Amino acid sequence: MENFGSHSSSNHLAKRLAQVSQGWIVEEINFLFQSDPHREFWEGAVSRKKIGDTEVAKVLMEEINKGLIVTQSCDIDKRHIPWITVVPVYSAKLFPKIDRNQLPDYLINITAPWASSELWIADLRLEMAIEKTLLLNKNFIEGFASKKDYKILAERLGERRQRPAIPDILYEHVVDPFFNGISDLEEKGVNPRVNVEQFRIYHDEIDGKFVVFIYVIKETDSVQLDLNMLNGVVAAFVMDLNSRGITWGGLQTMSYDSLTAREYMTSELIQGPNS
């Protein structure tokens, strides 16, 4: 940004950048990514441009032409950062396989009034850098209808960047089967998360073996949790743990009010399979 043209142009860009923040949407953006020219993996890319002999730049379909800004608001107008990062925004009707009733964690619902007539989503999997100068001639629109929704976006982005400090063996044999089992129940119309605020995992290593507990954090101390379904989920994988050097401690229920500082600091929030 230090070498961005004339002083007046630089001021104009600064004024433009001051109008937007994380969660706003830039219109008329072309998304692309590099790929192997001989293999197709994602149906969202329709055209390609050859780069050498082994790679191509794949461009997303024309209908995907909006970009949600995921750069932190405090970094958008910093002169030493020439780029902002955007993710594609598109109508769910472009991909009929999307489960509209339960979006995966990498898709987030766009709630701004302009998107009220159908389901619009931002896809957090594909992040693309665009130079800030491109924004001089682009239109901006809001992405969300409330401060709460903007906060949800910020939290979701933070979650995706902060992988819990959990050994891979515990992801593979505890966390993944635990959440996969929950998903299987939810697909059958059963909700094992009633009155559950979140799940946390505690682990320790003793004499080369892991000891593992999952804390089931309920919404308040007064609510009662039915652990039968969650215990059923655990039963599907717990018998295999000992042979892998993992001792299962069990499910422990508590609320934030009863969660001690030590229990909080020595456990990790878990929200889904390792992805």
Residue tagged 């850098």 (tokens): 129
Q: Are residues 143 and 22 located together in one domain of the fold?
A: yes
CA dist 206 and 175 (Å) reads 20
Q: Residue 229 is which amino acid?
A: M
Q: Are residues 104 and 140 located together in one domain of the fold?
A: yes
Domain count, the chain: 2
Q: Are residues 225 and 180 located together in one domain of the fold?
A: yes
pLDDT at residue number 5: 46
- Contact in structure between 213 and 201 (CB atoms under 8 Å): yes
Q: Are residues 73 and 201 located together in one domain of the fold?
A: no
Look at residues 117, 132, 124, 57 and name the one whose alpha carbon lies nearest to residue 89. Answer: 124
Q: Which of 138, 161, 184 is the last residue of a domain?
A: 161
pLDDT at residue number 234: 95
Q: What are the strands, taking DSSP E only, across the chain?
A: 25-27, 32-35, 45-51, 55-60, 66-69, 83-91, 107-109, 120-123, 128-131, 140-141, 196-206, 209-218, 246-255, 267-270
Look at residues 89, 246, 106, 259 and name the one whose alpha carbon lies nearest to residue 170. Answer: 246
The answer to whether residue 47 is domain-embedded is: no
Per-residue confidence in pLDDT tens, the chain, 275 aa = 444 444 456 777 888 888 888 999 999 988 888 777 676 677 666 666 666 665 666 677 788 899 999 998 888 888 888 899 999 999 999 888 887 777 888 899 999 999 999 999 999 988 999 999 888 889 999 999 998 898 888 878 877 776 677 888 998 999 999 999 998 998 888 889 888 988 999 999 887 789 999 999 998 888 888 899 999 999 999 999 989 999 999 999 998 888 888 888 889 888 877 64
Q: Which of 116, 144, 161 is the last residue of a domain?
A: 161
CA dist 200 and 263 (Å) reads 10
pLDDT at residue number 97: 81
Q: Which of 96, 129, 161 is the last residue of a domain?
A: 161
Count of C-beta atoms within a 10 Å radius of residue 261: 7
Q: Are residues 11 and 95 located together in one domain of the fold?
A: yes
Identify the three-state secondary structure at position 255: strand
Q: Are residues 134 and 14 located together in one domain of the fold?
A: yes
pLDDT at residue number 56: 64
The answer to whether residue 51 is domain-embedded is: no
